[in-house]
Amino acid sequence: MRKIAVKTEGMMCPMCESHICDVIRKSFPVHKVTASRRTGEAVILADEPVSHEALKRAVDSTGYRVLQVSEEHWQKRRLFHRS
């Protein structure tokens, strides 16, 4: 699974967070999307690769500006697991 962090500019309220999450959910097959106006970041969890350029275009179309996109491998941690 991939964790994609999208630094954005322009989120000011809960509706801004909702707009960004909605456009990402509608544009890409993702498991989870969260956005925070305090951190200025949206975090996406997805199985499939997401084009950074397409992601930028989708978010920019809502009136917010993408500053940076970063991606890393992500694995859910289990509460009880063996090392």
Break the chain into its structural domains and give their ranges: 2-73
Identify the burial level of 78 via C-beta atoms within 10 angstroms of its C-beta, where 0-12 means exposed, 13-18 middle and 19 or more buried: exposed
Q: What is the pLDDT of residue 79?
A: 67
Q: Which two tokens stand for residue 14?
A: 């809960």
Burial of 24 (0-12, 13-18, 19+ CB in 10 A): buried
Tell which CATH architecture fits domain 2-73: 2-Layer Sandwich (3.30)
- Output the pLDDT for position 61: 93
Can you give the C-alpha Rg of the chain in angstroms? Answer: 13
Chunk the chain into consecutive blocks of 10 residues (it has 83) and report each block's average pLDDT, rounded to whole numbers. Answer: 95 95 96 96 94 95 95 78 58
**Which pLDDT belongs to residue 77?**
72
What pLDDT, on the 0 to 100 scale, is given for residue 82? 60
Cβ within 8 Å of residue 59, ≥6 positions away: 6, 8, 20, 23, 24, 42, 65, 66
